Structure 1
Amino acid sequence: MTTTHEFWLAGRRASGEAEFEVRHPHDGSLVAKVSVPTDAQVEEAVAAAAAVVPVFAATPAHQRAAALDHVAKRLAERTEEIARLITAENGKPIKWARGEVGRAVSVFRWAAEEARRTNGEAMRLDTDPGGTGRYAIVRRFPRGAVLGIAPFNFPLNLVAHKVAPAIAVGAPIILKPAPATPVSALVLGEILAETDLPAGSWSVLPVENAKMPALVQDKRLPVISFTGSDKVGYQIMDSVPRKHVTLELGGNAAAVVLADWSSEADLDWAAGRIALFANYQGGQSCISVQRVIADASVYDRLVEKVVEKVKAQVTGDPSDEATDVGPLVDENAAKRVESWVEDAVAKGAKVLTGGSRDGAAYAPTVLAELPADAILATAEVFGPVLSLHRVEGTEEAFAAVNDSAFGLQAGVFTHDVQTAFRAHRELEVGGVVIGDAPSYRADQMPYGGVKDSGVGREGVRYAMDDFTFEKVLVLTGLDL
C-alpha cells in the first residue's frame, strides 16, 4: 500500500482534500501519492510567509546558518534513500541521482557559510567637504517573501538553489515543486522541519499548475525565482512587471572544438565529454550539449569518435548501477523528441546513431547536416540528441555559437589562452568553459544566461543578492 505524502504548510505537516499520483518514468509503477493543498491552505501559507518577513529577517546569522548546516548534514546522511527517490520519480540513473544529492549538500553548506560572512560594506563619506564627519554602512535586507518555482529535471538540487539562499538571507519562501517530481522536495521539508526556523518561513506546496497564476500575482510574494521553459518564464515576468523576477530558462548549448585541439588524446577527451554530457540526465539539462561546432581540420576525426562514444552509452533501467542514460520524464516528452528528430530527417539531416524511441526512453542520437529550418536547429531539445556542424576557423565557430536565441553556457576546446579570453569576450552566453563541455557547473559560481536563457543568477551568493536589496545607514557627526 502506497502512503500519501503530506505537504508542508508554514513548517508543519498538512494534507488537503485531493491527491495525485507520481509514477516511475521507466516502468510506470506507482512511486507515491501526494496530497494537494486546498485554496484555503495556500492562502494560509502565503499569509504566514508575509507575516513572518520582519521576524525572519531579524533572526541572527548563527541561527540561519545552523539550520542550513543541519540540512546539509541530514541530506548527506540520507543520500542513498533520497537518490533512489530521485531515480524513482525522475527516471535519472542512480549514479547521477547520487551526484545530485551531493550537489544539494554543497548548496546548503555554501549557504551556511555565506549566511555567516555576509557583512555588508562600510564607506567613508568625507571624500567631499559635504561629507565631513559622515560614515556609511551598506547592508542587504530581504525584498520580502519568495515564490520559488522548481522544475522536474533536478528535483532536489534546483529546489536547493531556491530554498538555501532564501534561508541564508532570512527571506520566507513558498516552494512549488514540479508536479512530476514533488517527492524529493517533500523529503527536504522533513529535514527543514527538524530545524528551529520560524513558523511560516518556509512551505512546500505541490499545487496544481493551474493554480500558479494566482500565486504569481499575489502581492505578498514580491520575489519570484523560476526555473523552467522560456515560454512560461517570460509569461510570468510579463504578468508581474513590478515584481523582482529571476528566470533560469533554457538553452541549446554548444561545444566548440577548434583547430589546435587536434591530437588523438585531445579529440578522445572532447568526444568523451561531448557524448557524456549530451546524454546525462537523458539530455534533460539546460546545459546539455546540443550543438557540436568543430573546425573542418578536426571535424571528420571528431565525428567518428563522438559516434563511437555515444554508442557506448549504456541505456536501460535507471536503478541499474551500469546505466548511463535513463528515460525522459514521461512518454510525451520522448514523443516530442521523436517528432523533432523526424522533422530534422525529413528536411535533410542524417542520423549517425540512435533515432528511435521505446516508451519514455529515447536512444542517444547523433545528427549531421542539420538544416537551419529544422526545429532542432533553434529550439532546446531537452533530450539525448546532439548535432554536428563543420566550420572554418574560430570566427565562424563563434558566430555559430551566437546564432541562437539562447545564451546559457558554451564549451570551447582550445589550448590557446588568447582564444579563451576571446571566447569570454565575444560569446553571448552567461558562462564559458574552456577545455570541457558546456555542462560544467559549480554550485557556488554565478549561473544563468542572456537573451532567451533568462535574467538574474543562481549560485548561492548571487541568488542571495537577487533576494535582497541594499539599504544605506549614514552616521553623522563622527570624528573620523
Structure 2
Amino acid sequence: MNATTKGLFINGEWIVKDRTYPLYSPYRGALLANISKADTADVNVAIEGAYEAFQQMKEMPAHQRSAILYRVVELMRERKEELATIIAQEAGKPIKTARGEIDRTIVTYQFAAEEAKRIYGETIPMDAAPGGENRLGMTWREPLGVVAAITPFNFPFNLVAHKLGPAFAAGNTVVLKPANQTPLSALKMAEIFDEAGLPKGALQIVTGSGAEIGDPLVTDNRVKKVTFTGSAEVGKDIKAKAGLKKVTLELGSNSAVIVQPNVPLERVISRCVEGAFVYSGQVCISLQRIYVHEDIYEDFCKRFTEQSKTLKIGDPLDENTNISAMIHSKEIDRIETWVKEAEEGGAKVALGGSRQNTVFEPTILLDVNGKMKVACKEVFAPVVSIMPYKDLDEAIGFVNDSVYGLNVGVYSTNIDEAFYAARKIESGAIIINDIPTFRVDHMPYGGVKESGYGREGIKYAVEEMTELKFVSVKTFL
C-alpha cells in the first residue's frame, strides 16, 4: 500500500483496489489520500472472513478480549496527537475538539475492556411457578456473530469505538463501513487493533459507496446485527431491509434546552454557546432550539449573542480555532437556503447567517416559529434558534412538538419542576442543569420517535450485541 492510496482491510491484509475516490480536506481542499472503493464481491469476502473468525472470538476467554482492548487503550494514549490530527484533517474538526474526541475514545475502549469481564447472567427461582420444583434456572449471554457497523463522519474515532468496543468485548466480529469523508480514522484503528493482537478477520473494513455496498452488508444472512449512526431516512431503510436481524439505530435530532428564570445565566450561556456551535453544530445532540422564559429572554439573547461573537473562525489545525469548515460545500448550500427561508418567514438573524468560503458563520435566529425548517428539522450546522415561552408547560409542549427525541436539557433551580419536566418530555435522555449536548460514554444513549431504536453506551450496547440463553437443570434429589 503506497503513501497516497489506502486499501480495504480484509482478513488482516491491505487490499488496494483499482477503483478509488479522492479524499480532500474540508477546510483547504488539499488531497489527503485516494481511498479504495469496495464492491459487492469485497463485501462478501469480508463477511465470510468475519464469519470464520467468529468461532475464535466466541471461544476466546473474556480476560483475553479485555486485554486486547486494554492494549488498544495504551496504543491510543501513545499516539493521541497523531490521531487528533487525522480528525482535524479529514473531518475539519478544530484540533482542540479533536483532542477531546480522542480522550473520549480512549475512555470508550477502556469501558469496553472492563465490560468484557462482567457480562453476567442470573439465576431464576424456578419453584416460583407450580411445576418448577427441584429445578435450577439460569441465564447467560452469548455473542451474536458478525456485526455490520455503519458510522458517520462527525465523530470518526469515538462513534466507531461505540461499535467496535462492545462488539469485541462480547466476542463478536465486525465488518465496518466508515463514512466516505472520514475513512482514515477507521483505517488507523485497523492498524491499532492488529498491533493489539485482535485475531485476523475479526475486524474487516470496507470503504466506498454506501449506495453500492450498504445493502449487501445489511441483508446478508451471515450478518446477525446491524448498528448504524446517521440520518433517519437511511435508518428507516436499513430497518426495513434487515429482516429479523438485531438493529441499533442512532438517528437524527433537533435537540432543545429549556431555561427557567433564576438560573445563573453566566454559566448557562457559556454552556449553551458551546452546545450550539461546537464542531460547527455537526453533532447529533447539538443544541438547536433554546426556549427561554419571557422574563429573561431579552437579557439571555443579548448575552448569548455577545459571547458567540468571541468565537474564532479558522483552520482546524490552529490552536485558537473554535469554528472551522463544514464537512461538504453542499451542506453550506443547504443551510444557507434554510436560513434565507426563515428570514423570509419573519425570523431575524441576530448574528451570522453567511458563509466564509468553506465555513458557515455561527448563526443566531430570533422570532422563529416551530414550522420553519431551522426549528422542526435537523439543522446539523452552526445555527441556533432562541424562542421565548410563558410557562413551563408551554415550553414542554414546544419541545415535544417534534418528530425527534434524543437529548433535551432543562435548566432550573427548582428540583420539583425539573423532575416534572423530565417526566413530561418525550426524549431518550433528559439532562438537568446542562445542555443536551452533554454525553459521557458509559451512559445509555439513544432516542425515541425518529431519533432512533435501541441504545448505545458500552454496557447497554453489549446487551444489544448478545443473545440471552436460558438453561434449566432438573435435579434428582
Is TM > 0.5 for Structure 1 vs Structure 2?
A: yes
Instruction: Find the counterpart in structure 2 of residue 248 from structure 1.
Output: 250
Question: Per-residue deviation at 1:38?
Answer: 4.1
More moved, 104-113 vs 125-134 = 125-134
Instruction: Find the counterpart in structure 2 of residue 260 from structure 1.
Output: 262
Instruction: Find the counterpart in structure 1 of residue 10 from structure 2.
Output: 9
Contact 2:348 2:367 in 1 (8 A): yes
Instruction: Find the counterpart in structure 2 of residue 151 from structure 1.
Output: 152
Contact 2:347 2:368 in 1 (8 A): yes
Instruction: Find the counterpart in structure 1 of residue 114 from structure 2.
Output: 113
Q: Secondary structure at the match of 1:117?
A: coil
Amino acid at match of 1:322: N
Matches of 1:9 and 1:189 in 2, distance apart? 10
Question: Per-residue deviation at 1:19?
Answer: 1.7
Amino acid at match of 1:248: E
Confirm whether residue 221 of structure 1 aligns to residue 219 of structure 2: no
Amino acid at match of 1:207: G
From 440, 443, 454, the equivalent of 2:441 is: 443
Question: Per-residue deviation at 1:8?
Answer: 1.1
The one-character-per-residue Cα deviations of 1:39-72 (angstroms, maximum 9, x if unpaired) are 3332111111122333322211011101111111
The one-character-per-residue Cα deviations of 1:264-290 (angstroms, maximum 9, x if unpaired) are xx1111111111110001100011110
Question: Per-residue deviation at 1:478?
Answer: 6.3
More moved, 205-214 vs 422-431 = 205-214
Contact 1:17 1:37 in 2 (8 A): no
Instruction: Find the counterpart in structure 1 of residue 475 from structure 2.
Output: 477
Q: Secondary structure at the match of 1:222?
A: strand
Instruction: Find the counterpart in structure 2 of residue 57 from structure 1.
Output: 58
Question: Per-residue deviation at 1:325?
Answer: 1.1
Contact 1:15 1:37 in 2 (8 A): no
Contact 1:408 1:449 in 2 (8 A): yes
More moved, 240-249 vs 378-387 = 240-249
Matches of 1:78 and 1:33 in 2, distance apart? 23
Matches of 2:287 and 2:167 in 1, distance apart? 30
Matches of 2:188 and 2:471 in 1, distance apart? 41
**Which residues of structure 2 form unaligned runs of 5+?**
none
TM-score, normalised relative to structure 2: 0.97
Question: Per-residue deviation at 1:2?
Answer: 4.9
Q: Secondary structure at the match of 2:117?
A: helix
Matches of 1:240 and 1:109 in 2, distance apart? 30
Q: Secondary structure at the match of 2:196?
A: coil
Contact 2:43 2:216 in 1 (8 A): no
Contact 1:165 1:460 in 2 (8 A): yes
Instruction: Find the counterpart in structure 2 of residue 83 from structure 1.
Output: 84
Contact 1:230 1:250 in 2 (8 A): yes
Amino acid at match of 1:13: W
Amino acid at match of 1:435: N
**Which residues of structure 1 form unaligned runs of 5+?**
none
Matches of 1:243 and 1:196 in 2, distance apart? 29
More moved, 207-216 vs 304-313 = 207-216
Contact 2:4 2:32 in 1 (8 A): no
Amino acid at match of 1:249: L
Amino acid at match of 2:299: R
Matches of 2:424 and 2:12 in 1, distance apart? 46
Amino acid at match of 2:284: C
Instruction: Find the counterpart in structure 2 of residue 102 from structure 1.
Output: 103
Question: Per-residue deviation at 1:129?
Answer: 4.6
Instruction: Find the counterpart in structure 1 of residue 408 from structure 2.
Output: 410
Contact 2:226 2:242 in 1 (8 A): no
State the Cα RMSD in Å.
Answer: 1.4
TM-score, normalised relative to structure 1: 0.96
Contact 2:58 2:171 in 1 (8 A): yes
Amino acid at match of 1:251: S
> What pairs up with 1:113-152 in 2 under 5 angstroms?
113-152=114-153
> What pairs up with 1:391-470 in 2 under 5 angstroms?
391-470=389-468
More moved, 444-453 vs 17-26 = 17-26
Question: Per-residue deviation at 1:180?
Answer: 0.7
Question: Per-residue deviation at 1:197?
Answer: 2.6
The one-character-per-residue Cα deviations of 1:434-463 (angstroms, maximum 9, x if unpaired) are 111110000000001000101001111111
Matches of 1:19 and 1:72 in 2, distance apart? 31
Question: Per-residue deviation at 1:141?
Answer: 1.3
Contact 2:261 2:295 in 1 (8 A): yes
Instruction: Find the counterpart in structure 2 of residue 361 from structure 1.
Output: 359
Contact 2:40 2:216 in 1 (8 A): no
Confirm whether residue 206 of structure 1 aligns to residue 204 of structure 2: no
Q: Secondary structure at the match of 2:238?
A: helix
Matches of 1:176 and 1:78 in 2, distance apart? 23
Question: Per-residue deviation at 1:221?
Answer: 0.9
Matches of 1:127 and 1:222 in 2, distance apart? 34
Instruction: Find the counterpart in structure 1 of residue 233 from structure 2.
Output: 231
Matches of 1:133 and 1:478 in 2, distance apart? 8
More moved, 382-391 vs 420-429 = 420-429
Matches of 2:433 and 2:269 in 1, distance apart? 12
Q: Secondary structure at the match of 2:257?
A: strand
Amino acid at match of 2:85: R
Instruction: Find the counterpart in structure 2 of residue 22 from structure 1.
Output: 23
Q: Secondary structure at the match of 1:180?
A: coil
Instruction: Find the counterpart in structure 2 of residue 165 from structure 1.
Output: 166
Matches of 2:66 and 2:378 in 1, distance apart? 37
